[in-house]
């Protein structure tokens, strides 16, 4: 029997959208990273991020956005910014009761994107 994807385990796109909403509440309250979102259409960002995370966790591929490198071009993100975002994602997943092994899996996947977003 095939094991469920993280997308399925978390409850699909509807639940992931709630996770994304909580994640951005945390991000926008954090002075370490909130300045990167000052001119961002957050409704569009939330929708986009929900599709990206859904796909990254094994859901349907509805993501049609830019590559990670292209999306972060000109932002000059530093390791402290990446760590803040990863911490907010970790804390959000824990808040939603995601088990520790699955949180580690998600963070490992996000960590693999580090070279595509830092120092661009």
pLDDT tens digits, one per residue of 71-114: 899 999 999 999 999 999 999 999 999 999 999 998 998 899 89
Residue 1 counted as domain residue: no
Say whether pTM exceeds 0.85. yes
pLDDT of residue 2: 62
Q: What is the DSSP letter of 5?
A: P
Residue 5 counted as domain residue: no
Q: How many CB atoms neighbour CB 46 within 10 A?
A: 16
Residue 82 counted as domain residue: yes
Residue 3 counted as domain residue: no
**Domain containing 92: what range?**
10-117
Domain count along the chain: 1
CATH of residue 15 = 1.10.490.10
Residue 57 counted as domain residue: yes
Give the confidence band of 64 by pLDDT, cuts at 50, 70, 90: confident
| CA 21 – CA 31 distance, rounded (Å) | 18
| CA 92 – CA 103 distance, rounded (Å) | 10
CA 4 → CA 1, 35, 106, distances in Å?
9, 37, 14
Is 109 marked as a binding-site residue? no
């Amino acid at each position: 029997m095939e094991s469920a994807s993280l997308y399925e385990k978390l409850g699909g796109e509807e639940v992931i959208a709630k996770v994304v909403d909580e994640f951005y509440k945390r991000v926008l309250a954090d002075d370490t990273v909130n300045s990167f979102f000052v001119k961002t259409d957050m409704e569009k960002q939330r929708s986009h991020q929900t599709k990206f995370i859904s796909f990254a966790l094994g859901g349907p591929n509805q993501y049609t956005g830019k590559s990670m490198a292209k999306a972060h071009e000109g932002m000059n993100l530093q390791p402290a910014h990446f760590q803040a975002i990863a911490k907010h994602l970790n804390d959000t997943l824990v808040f939603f009761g995601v088990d520790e092994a699955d949180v580690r899996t998600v963070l490992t996947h996000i960590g693999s994107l580090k070279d595509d977003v830092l120092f661009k």
